[in-house]
């Protein structure tokens, strides 16, 4: 029987806006809509400095981390691209470029601030 445990997951390969940042609530709501109350698979190999599992969430074959980027609710986190396989790097980069071109989600803002830069300013 699959585990029914709850875990805090840091989505691998992406950076979503912080809660108080523009598009933070929308990004959270979008993610909740994708996974809340659902049985998901998490592929992971490390924990971050806060003890969270860093992983890729899969629901019914869909890469949820990638879906966040495709919808414009997360940046592809290039700093950690080396931790992704080559296929994922290509997919995530293309998804970000497409979301940006189509002004989806956070890309509706002409100058969106990545969460890693936003945190430095706080």
Query: Domain containing 88 — which CATH number?
Result: 2.40.50.90
Total count of domains within the chain:
1
Q: Is 6 a catalytic residue?
A: no
Report if residue 117 sits inside a domain.
no
DSSP-derived letter for residue 18 is P
From the candidates 6, 47, 52, 60, which is the catalytic residue?
Answer: 52
* Beta partners for residue 113, in sequence order: none
From the candidates 5, 10, 41, 49, which is the catalytic residue?
Answer: 10
Report if residue 119 sits inside a domain.
no
How does pLDDT run across 90-99, given as a tens digit for each residue?
999 999 999 9
> Residue 3's pLDDT is what?
64
**Alpha carbon distance 108, 33 (integer Å):** 21
> Residue 122's pLDDT is what?
73
Q: Is 52 a catalytic residue?
A: yes
How many residues appear in the chain? 122
Report if residue 2 sits inside a domain.
no
Domain residue limits at 46: 9-107
How does pLDDT run across 1-59, given as a tens digit for each residue?
456 677 889 999 999 999 999 999 999 999 999 999 899 999 999 999 999 999 999 99
**CA 90, 96, 102 angle in degrees (round to 5)?**
130
Report if residue 90 sits inside a domain.
yes
Report if residue 114 sits inside a domain.
no
């Amino acid at each position: 029987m699959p585990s029914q445990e709850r875990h805090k997951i840091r989505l691998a390969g992406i950076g979503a806006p912080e809660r108080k940042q523009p598009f933070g609530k929308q990004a959270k709501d979008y993610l909740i809509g994708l996974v809340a109350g659902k049985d998901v698979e998490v592929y992971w190999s490390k924990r971050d400095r806060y003890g969270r599992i860093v992983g890729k969430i899969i629901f019914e074959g869909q890469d949820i981390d990638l879906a966040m980027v495709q919808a414009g609710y997360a940046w592809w986190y290039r700093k950690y691209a080396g931790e992704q396989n080559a296929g994922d790097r290509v997919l995530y980069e293309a998804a970000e470029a497409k979301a940006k071109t189509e002004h989806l989600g956070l890309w509706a803002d002409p100058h969106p601030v990545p969460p890693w830069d936003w945190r430095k300013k706080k």
